[in-house]
Amino acid sequence: MADPKKSPPLTRDSVIAAHALIKEYIHYTPVLTNATLTDLASIPQSASDLADTPWAGQKPAKPKIRLWFKCENLQKVGAFKVRGAFHALMRLIAEEGWEARGGRERGVVTHSSGNHAQALALAARTIGVPAHIVMPKISTPSKIAATKRYGARVIFSGSTSTEREAVVEDVIKETGARLVPPYDHPDIMLGQGTLGIELQEQVERMLAEGGKERPKCSFALKGKGETIKGLDAIIAPCGGGGMLSGTAISCEGTGIFVFGAEPSFEGADDCKRGIEQGKRIETVKTLTIADGLRTPVGAYPWSVIYERKLVRQMFSVTEDQIKKALRLVLERMKVIVEPSAVVGLATALFNEDFRRMVERECGEEGWDLGIVFSGGNVSVEALGKMFEVPQAKAERQEGVVGKDGEKIAGNVAG
């Protein structure tokens, strides 16, 4: 990896420069809207929706939220990760003396169970350097296969971070390869932040083409009578924090608020809890269905999210809320995304703290809210299991029915 001390400053201008550096290698992914989901975001939740939540028995919020979806599920390798991988590699090969020291022959190494593995493999193949990818043995077979198809050498390890890092050290000793971490590096963050620049530009253009001009509803501009076209806020998923922090940097000085969203299951909301405690939480052990968000926030992202306070607030959502949001995207938008990608949407639809904030601050004006769909790497089998009817699942486990629901033994009620 390039020396972090020699990375560009973590500023919006640096994100714009990163975009210019990598734009020929990435997709300019679309921004979609959906009237049904926008309507749902602006309808109060019912009493049954709020039952068994911290807001049970309370009057539901009635915010006005217009949703804009940045579709990184349609990015190369199916996720935003390719942005950071290309930027990190472009910065590395530009490092003085790197090629003279045999850097191109030695290549790069990382550890990842999925999206970053594929992203670095593709970037390395494109630029012409070897890639050594350490993947846990329990990684999804389809992601292992995809990483190999991009030409990377895959080395297997145990599933813990300690086991992964030990194998990475062995690879570095063997090959002299340079480490490209998944998220905890300024070059990665600046690369991921390029999606924020695109999202801002795209929404401004779409609103201008639609002839819609509205006052921007934020503390920075409220009451000044300024009429602009653009986003009020962006909400993005947070695992290691590279994409959230990069997006926050891309919005600095624009008046656009940035929020983070995490699963709450088994302590996966480490960034939210860390902010509440005033200290970064360095370890997370969770099996949330949002498997891309199982990592603790990194030190460099933390410096942007918490210390510089470029992320206004973190929110968390339950597994059921993630599933509900995922089902809505699949059925109403006809778009394939992974569970990690919808935690921001779940926040906008179901987290009453977030919804009350929007209602309180903007009233009838409402917010234009950017939602980052971070990726779409999910198998048909995984989606089927996620939405399987419990009775059918139990019957199949008992050998009563086949996977397609066909009766194969005994009697099936109903």
Q: Report the catalytic residues.
A: 81, 113
If you count them, how many residues does the chain have? 414
What's the gap between Cα 189 and its chain centre?
12
Phi/psi at 347 (nearest 5 deg)?
Answer: -65, -45
CA angle 44, 46, 50 (to 5 degrees): 105
| Distance from the first to the final alpha carbon of the chain | 60
Burial of 45 (0-12, 13-18, 19+ CB in 10 A): middle
Q: What DSSP element (H or E) covers 23?
A: none
> What is the C-alpha to C-alpha distance for residues 146 and 206, in angstroms, rounded to an integer?
35
Is residue 343 within 8 Å of 286, Cβ to Cβ?
no
Phi/psi at 135 (nearest 5 deg)?
Answer: -125, 135
List the alpha helices (DSSP H) in 66-156: 81-93, 103-106, 115-127, 141-149
The strand ranges marked E within 311-389 are: 313-317, 367-373
Say how many C-beta atoms besides its own lie within 10 A of residue 264's C-beta: 19
> What is the C-alpha to C-alpha distance for residues 63 and 257, in angstroms, rounded to an integer?
16
Phi/psi at 111 (nearest 5 deg)?
Answer: -125, 135
